[in-house]
């Protein structure tokens, strides 16, 4: 099962996108509909609201009079807290129930209007944002949905900004054009990304990238932040720290299109204990990898002991975003090297130039594809790592 969060400003076209996803086979969980359902006439939710706010919040037919409720419940923070304490657990329980009822291979889409405002993005395995210019949205709300213009403007102004939405968007669907345009985008997304993502997630398959270098992408840092936010949620206190490492963490450096993230843990037992939760969250394990290549430490023959270089590796099930999630032990040589190498490359232009030349040579060596290419690639790169390891370590020590 894949869990997608769908959001966007009022009038952007969430309902339109949700409808297309349902046509394609997604299971839609509509937060607004659930919020209405849990306080429908005859529900314990409505009884609890009457108990808290009095019978004046009811309409003549016994249903909830929303403006009347809003008048009392939004009067002060305490009342707002009371309202949330009643409705949030009910919405949460009903949402969990609906997700539980969905088939194991479902693509579940949660339409959450305030996903950004309420900081819910990291809970989703993929966030889809539907975007349209404010004026376009206003025109649609006023002309097609009959909303009062001043009211629509005020509500749009109270919502998250497009910049805030961009920061959490794994996918941004532009809906400024005719309805057919966004529909075609949704169909392509379904086939090329959502269906394979769900399959990878359920079967523990990691997305891969080839050994070609691509130009540095300023969006890598933003993408890494989203992955890190999700990892923090999965790992909780077991993660001592989580860092964007590797070439994609060095601004301006061409790299393979794989984002490296390092989760620092207290020991490998903690890493193993996280394996199941990581896989369930969309970060399947690479069980064959148990350690980094040991790098020789001058003057320390025991420096290459495999035991010091133990790690766990996970990937990302999202086919459009290959990632390596390295779980390394705090203060182990591999954990420190990942951070020190990144900082050294960020700081030293000469080091970047040298590393890029090595990467280009490795890319040349890899030439073809598949596993053999990987070996050829690393046969060129690893000796250079061995050479710079003491240099980087000394550089970091001098700076500390």
By CB under 6 A, name the binding residues for ligand ADP.
8, 10-16, 140, 144-145, 175, 177-179, 182
Partnered with residue 244 across adjacent β-strands are 261
Q: Please count the other Cβ atoms lying within 10 Å of the Cβ belonging to residue 105.
A: 14
Annotated binding-site residue? 374: no
Task: Give me the phi and psi of 342, to 5 degrees please.
Answer: -60, -45
Shortest gap between Cβ of 204 and ligand ADP (angstroms)?
35
Radius of gyration of the chain (CA): 25
Closest distance of CB 140 from ligand ADP, Å: 3
Would you say 16 is a known binding-site residue? yes
- Of 13 and 246, the one with the shorter C-beta distance to ligand ADP is 13
What's the closest the beta carbon of residue 14 comes to ligand ADP, in angstroms? 3
d(CA 87, CA 64): 13
11 labeled binding residue: yes
CB of 10 to ligand ADP, least distance (A): 5
Q: Which is nearer to ligand ADP, 135 or 144 (CB)?
A: 144
- Helix (H/G/I), strand (E/B), else coil: 64: strand
CB of 182 to ligand ADP, least distance (A): 6
Is 311 annotated among the ligand-binding residues?
no
User: Which residues, at least 6 apart from 323, have a Cβ–Cβ distance to it below 8 Å?
Assistant: 207, 227, 258, 259, 260, 261, 283, 315, 316
Least Å from the CB of residue 141 to ligand ADP: 6
Collect all residues with Cβ–Cβ distance below 8 Å to 350 and sequence separation of at least 6: none
Q: Of 10 and 235, which CB lies nearer to ligand ADP in the complex structure?
A: 10
User: 38 or 182: whose CB is closer to ligand ADP?
Assistant: 182
Whether the CB-CB separation of 345 and 249 falls below 8 Å is answered with: no
Cβ-based nearer residue to ligand ADP, 183 or 363: 183
By C-beta, is 10 or 242 nearer to ligand ADP? Answer: 10
304 marked as binding residue: no
| 338 neighbors 326 (Cβ within 8 angstroms) | yes
Cβ partners under 8 Å of residue 130, min gap 6: 6, 7, 8, 12, 13, 14, 16, 17, 173, 175, 182
Q: Where does residue 294 rank: exposed (0-12), middle (13-18), buried (19+ CB within 10 A)?
A: middle
d(CA 82, CA 52): 8
Min CB(266)–ligand ADP separation in Å:
44
Burial 190-228 (b: 16+ CB within 10 A, else e): beebbbbbbebbeeeebbeebbebeeeeeebeebbebbb
Query: SS3 for 26?
Result: coil
Would you say 14 is a known binding-site residue? yes
Q: How far is CA 246 from the centre of its chain?
A: 19
Nearer to ligand ADP, 63 or 176 (CB): 176
CB of 175 to ligand ADP, least distance (A): 5
In terms of CB distance, is 140 or 206 closer to ligand ADP?
140
Residue ranges of the binding site = 11-16
Residue ranges of the binding site for ATP = 11-16
């Amino acid at each position: 099962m894949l869990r997608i969060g769908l959001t966007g400003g009022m009038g952007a076209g969430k309902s339109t996108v949700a409808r297309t996803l349902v046509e394609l086979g997604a299971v839609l969980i509509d937060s607004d509909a659930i919020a209405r359902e849990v306080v429908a006439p005859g529900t314990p939710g409505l009884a609890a609201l009457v108990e808290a706010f009095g019978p004046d919040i009811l309409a003549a037919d016994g249903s909830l009079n929303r403006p009347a409720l809003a008048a009392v419940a939004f009067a002060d923070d305490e009342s707002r807290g009371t309202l949330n304490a009643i409705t949030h657990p009910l919405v949460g329980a009903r949402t969990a129930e609906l997700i539980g009822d969905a088939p194991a291979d479902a693509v579940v889409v949660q339409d959450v209007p305030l996903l950004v405002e309420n900081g819910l993005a990291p809970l989703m395995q993929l966030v889809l944002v539907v975007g349209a210019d404010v004026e376009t949205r206003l025109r649609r709300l006023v002309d097609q949905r009959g909303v009062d213009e001043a009211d629509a403007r005020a509500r749009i102004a109270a919502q998250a900004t497009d910049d805030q939405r961009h920061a959490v968007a794994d996918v941004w669907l532009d809906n400024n054009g005719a309805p057919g345009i966004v529909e075609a985008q949704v169909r392509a997304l379904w086939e090329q990304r959502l269906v394979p993502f769900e399959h990878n997630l359920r079967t523990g398959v990691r997305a891969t990238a080839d050994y070609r270098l691509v130009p540095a992408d300023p969006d890598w840092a933003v993408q890494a932040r989203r992955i890190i936010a999700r990892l923090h949620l999965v790992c909780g206190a077991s993660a001592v720290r989580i860092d964007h490492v590797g070439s994609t963490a060095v601004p301006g450096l061409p790299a393979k299109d794989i984002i490296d993230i390092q989760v620092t843990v207290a020991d490998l037992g903690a890493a193993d204990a996280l394996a199941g939760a990581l896989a369930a969250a969309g970060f399947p394990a690479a069980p064959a990898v148990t350690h980094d290549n040991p790098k020789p430490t001058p003057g320390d023959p025991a420096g290459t002991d495999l035991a010091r270089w133990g790690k766990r590796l996970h990937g990302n099930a999202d086919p459009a975003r290959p990632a390596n999630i390295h779980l390394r032990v705090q203060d182990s040589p591999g954990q420190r090297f990942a951070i020190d190498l990144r900082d050294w490359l960020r700081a030293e232009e000469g080091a970047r130039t040298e590393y890029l030349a090595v990467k280009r040579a490795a890319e040349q060596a890899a030439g073809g594809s598949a596993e053999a290419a990987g070996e050829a690639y690393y046969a060129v790169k690893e000796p250079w790592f061995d050479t710079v390891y003491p240099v980087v370590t000394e550089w970091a020590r001098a700076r500390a």
